[in-house]
Structure 1
Amino acid sequence: MKIETKAIHLGHEIDQETGAIAPPIHLSTTFERDTDGSYPRGHVYSRLSNPNRDALEKCLCGLEGGEGAAAFSSGLAAILNVFQALLPGDHVVVSQDLYHGTTRILQDILVPWGLQVSYVDVNDFSQVRAVMKANTKIIYLETPSNPLLKITDISALSAIAHEAGALCVCDNTWPTPILQRPLELGADIVIHSTTKYFGGHSDVLGGAVISKIKDAFFDKIRMLQQIGGAVPAPFDCWLVLRGIQTLSCRMKNHSENAFGIAKFLQKHPGIQKVHYPGLVDHPGHDIVLRQMSQFGGMLSFQIRGNKEEALAFIGRLKIIKRATSLGGVESLIEHRASIEGPQSKTPDNLLRFSVGLENIEDLIADLNDALG
């Protein structure tokens, strides 16, 4: 099956008792044992497994092309579990331009726990090789990155990781497997915040880890999921699985709208810089042509001015909503540095824009009016 067909059908088996096309929601926290004490239906307790979570994990495996998937209660829970599967004293190499929540996990939780972290420009391969150690276990990247949309060559980074006996872990939340397939490009593990494009409607929280192979490292992630208990509720799994059914058409429309808006903003005198890999002057444009089918629905841009002028601009928007998060059908914009806090390295005049599915003419008119 092609990926568009998989998105609609994986995890959506016909209910054998009722013939229902839509899967039922199994809210039960516990499951009946047989008279001999066994669990012939495969489920014991919903922290360990649940029919809705099983269906979602099966779908995620099929979409990314992996052998194992573990669903979590949030994207950060998924990221935390991957790093917790390491040991104190292990070393990881991490991209400098990174979602601030990932940085908080590393600095506030895992470094005090004993993890060694090196932040580097992952597009400078000599810099990456220079920080690799005998105890390096993971090279971790986002591409496109959050919030500057830097593009990293997944195949090249995966090769460097494998040369050192390490894993390449890629956060694929922004492109989704519709636009980018890291496991096929050499990565070993893919991470998602399913809150975003998978859910697609800003109404469910979730995360996921998909592994190319079911090995001992994935087994440890599964153990941490089940024992730690940061699992999504059955209804949350149901919502994400439902959202995935329209993922392919949504991603195509998100991408088309974002590309058109990036070209509009690039020509506007009120904009200093646009960060979008579809633009030919983007430093990663050639790489993204090789590893993505479209350029995605996320962009960021810098107002010609300071923080106050950036905030004043988004205050004048009428259709585009001022809110954090991304990937919903509605367009969302935020002043990123104020979200990231005092340690942020994001420019004060930068705005991150999750381009929704509204008519592009309405979005451009809203931006144009607010820019004056």
Structure 2
Amino acid sequence: MDFFRAQRDLAREQISAAWQLQVERIQEDLERGWRDHVARAFDERFDGLRSAAEEEIERRVALRLSAETAQARASAMRQLTEQLNQTARRLDQAEELSDWTAALLDGASAFARRVWLFSLVSGKLTLEGLRGQDDAAGGAPAMPELTVDIAAAPAFQSVAESKDAVFAMAAPGELGEQILALLPEAEPGGAERRVCLAPVLTGQSERERRVSAVLLVEGSAGGVEAPVDVNALELVAALAGASLDARQAAQKAVVKVSPGAQGGLAMLGGAPQPQSRLAPPDWHSLSAEDQELHARAQRFARVRVAEMRLYQAEAVRNGREQARLYLALRGEMDRSRAQFKHEYLHSPTMVDYFHLEVLRTLANDDLSLLGPEYPGPLV
């Protein structure tokens, strides 16, 4: 019995040891597997976080880039419109040839490295002005006196015939020897140079349209290698042509051949206008009926101008700033002028009190603030 008991105890001991070994082995496997699972879970989790972070960063960078691009585009557009608006205002307000020429050249030089302006009258090209952004002295370049036949400059002749902008080689066969001499000498071994010619067109109808001047442009404002922005140059030239047409229509400027010269642009005053009855008559010389009529006319003028100041204050402010009061208030002014003419101008002693009130109150006694479109006093 003792033998069997001893064998049984030994077997139990062996089974217990085997079980312990199995438990330890299983526990070791479990611990090793748990660590592997945790490590894999961490790796997967952080890989997901890294991908999400990268996507978020890319999204934010794209949004920031898009916003900055839109802001830069808006800023560039604002600068362009400001430049064009300034050019248009200077062209409209120019009273002398030198002012008009300077406004056109300054406007074009914002988009070009070098600019020359030629008038075209009776087949003659006359150099009127020039601009160069890279002048060594930093000031206005000296301008030679130059007048040539357009037949000697085929590129200019092409512009005059087509009335469109033209690109041409900077060569004698295109520009002629005299005009080519105005351009700086090309660098030895450099690429062939090209220039752009943009016409300044005048004429109210297609039949009357003609080339009155030509802009000769070399190089972009962005650098010698940058392409010329021909669209901007054509727009500046169109503004210049429109300003000449507006002045002709208002009889404040015309394009003509300068006396004693072979050709050129000359801005002259309009034809003499008949004297207007602007000074109020001697009150005591008026009859009682005329005195009452004049008093009502003065009151009408004050009320209408006060209404414009009250109900169209923004238009009044903009009109003053842009020297275009008549254009800003045209509808109201035309109605008031028509009513004043109908109700009060039947009297031979009447003066245009509405004009006087507009000039005094709206334009602050500065006739130029009414703009070139203003038709003037009724009498």
Q: Pick 1 or 2: higher relative contact order, CA cutoff 8 A, min separation 6.
A: 1
Q: Which has the larger radius of gyration?
A: 2
What's the TM-score, normalizing by structure 1?
0.26
Higher helix share: 2
What's the TM-score, normalizing by structure 2?
0.25
